[in-house]
Amino acid sequence: MEREVRVRFAPSPTGPLHIGGVRTALYNFLLAKKTGGKMILRIEDTDQNRFVPGAEDYIRESLAWCGIELDESPWNGGPYAPYRQSERKPMYMQYAMQLIESGHAYYAFDTAEELDEMRERLKAAKVATPQYNAITRMTMKNSLTLPEDEVKKRLDSGEPYVIRLKVPRKEEVRLKDLIRGWVMVHSSAIDDKVLMKSDGMPTYHLANIVDDHLMKITHVIRGEEWLPSAPLHVLLYRYLGWEDTMPEFAHLPLLLKPDGNGKLSKRDGDKLGFPVFPLRWTDPFSGEISSGYREAGYIPEAFINFLAFLGWNPGTQQEIFSMEELANEFTIERIGKSGTRFDIQKARWFNEQYLRAKPDAELAGYLLKALEEHNMTCSPEKAEKIAGLMKERVSFPQEFWREAAYFFVAPTEYSEKVASKKWNGQAVAVFTDFRNELSTLSDFNADAVKDLLVSILERHGMKIGMVMQALRLAVTGAEAGPDLMQIIEVIGREETENRIDAAISALSQYVTA
């Protein structure tokens, strides 16, 4: 009988959640959702020296904003609680002791100075990668080189020690990765990693394996940076007797800088002007503020859709997917092996598509909120009309106010470029008649306004294209925008008359005799 799919996202609370981490969480969530499995979040906080206040809350809020739902977590609980490794501390030592008793781990009493001396000796001997391994361990101070009674004496006296994995000297370690296929590493390339630190806390390697086993994790989907550690983890599963239930591994490709050269970092985002974090982050120590996608105006569904395509593709031409559709289509097999270039313009494009697909009534909410901030009021009906006119011209919700301000505030400045080319005596004559005859319209709507303008132009022997840009300038102050007749309908008869009067007065210097 197949096991229930159980995946986990296991971030460390050492700062804000990078966009690459969000993608990892997303792919885990999509697999769980597709298979009817469970999505677990575990906080890996064994390194207390790197703990950053507020980071855990940030992780929680980020995933909630993205719509990544958790079945088990430190906040929801679950059958395998606790879900913070620091709270699971008492359980790890028994597994480290099991490894010692089976001969797969050992005590090491080396001081920091002795470890430095070892590395310097190896460097002097031109060893490419100085490490504590099957060869060098025999020159160090550990339970493999010290007499048994001395080891006992040191332990009984409370002397600081670590527990290291005893990696075999000559063995090929094989791992089948769901994305990369078979990965083979010779054990000589693996060092004797510390499993338990001198403070009694496990390292990532031991805690990760123990927790994944106890929480019955079936798939480990994580970043490419963990691929070098995977053979070590295979050894741990084997030595602990859990190889038969070992999860399947999938190591995701890197998110690359826009130019493709190297891993995407916060510095790249700062330099190129885009966020690398889902939400704004304020560093609790320095006070430095880092931008976030939420605050930049990205819709969470658009952000997730964009993120899903950074490494995965559905194999079709379809690009717009709801979370439900992503889950239905998602397969690990369609994740690429190569790093993916980060393209902020594509993220912007996704946001535009999602904005345009929203009902005008929902978009009106963005505008009404901005009006409130500017101490202005507007009926929901009017806001809805304006949102409908502007949605093809904006990329972010906050742009509704910036692009549509002229609906509420008459222009006081006019483009000199347009005025010098399009504002002339003929245009003013047409606009004067147009302004005076607007009052004759019994039904003031875009079609009626346009019919009136066309009839006046026919009297003057002119075509509509000869005056439209100048009329737009008078009414909005802008060079371009949505349908001008629709704009006039929204701002109303009296306001249109006033704006034409103001423009004729303000631009008189452009009218030649």
Neighbour tally for 513: CB within 10 Å: 3
Would you state the torsion angle of the CA atoms of residues 420, 421, 425, 430, taken in this order, to the nearest 10 degrees? Answer: -120
Confidence of residue 498 (pLDDT cuts 50, 70, 90): very high
pLDDT above 90 as % of the chain: 94
Confidence of residue 512 (pLDDT cuts 50, 70, 90): low
What percent of the residues of the chain are helix, what percent strand, and what percent coil, each to the nearest 5? 50, 10, 35
Residues 6+ away with beta carbon under 8 Å from 477: 406, 410, 411, 412, 413, 414, 415
34 is in an annotated binding site: no
For residues 277-299, average pLDDT: 96
Phi then psi dihedrals of residue 335, to 5 deg: -90, 130
Rounded Cα distance, 404 and 126, in Å: 68
For residues 309-336, average pLDDT: 97
Contact present, 317 and 331 (Cβ < 8 Å) = no
For residues 475-488, average pLDDT: 94
Rounded Cα distance, 16 and 23, in Å: 14
Would you state the torsion angle of the CA atoms of residues 60, 65, 70, 74, taken in this order, to the nearest 10 degrees? Answer: 10
Cα distances from 253 to residues 10, 143, 226, 411, 439, in angstroms, run 18, 40, 11, 51, 65
Report the predicted TM-score, pTM, of the whole model to 2 decimal places.
Answer: 0.92
Structure tokens at 125: 């001997």
Residue 58 is inside which H or E element, if any? helix 55-66
Q: What is the pLDDT of residues 115-139, one digit of tens each?
A: 999 999 999 999 988 999 999 999 9
Q: What is the pLDDT of residues 412-457, one digit of tens each?
A: 999 888 998 899 999 999 999 999 999 999 999 999 999 999 999 9
Whole-number pLDDT of residue 438:
96
- Residue 242 amino acid letter: W
Cα distances from 459 to residues 141, 356, 442, 463, 464, in angstroms, run 103, 40, 21, 10, 12
The strand pairing partners of 194, in sequence order, are 164
- Angle, in degrees to the nearest 10, between helices 493-506 and 484-491: 110
Cα distances from 437 to residues 446, 465, 490, in angstroms, run 15, 20, 18
Cα Rg of the chain, angstroms: 33
Report, as residue numbers or ranges, the catalytic residues: 266
Q: What is the pLDDT of residues 249-258, one digit of tens each?
A: 999 999 999 9
Query: Could you give the angle at the alpha carbon of 465 between the alpha carbons of 463 and 469, nearest 5°?
Result: 135
Query: Could you give the angle at the alpha carbon of 367 between the alpha carbons of 365 and 373, nearest 5°?
Result: 105
Rounded Cα distance, 95 and 214, in Å: 12
- Residue 410 amino acid letter: A
pLDDT value at 513 more than 50: no
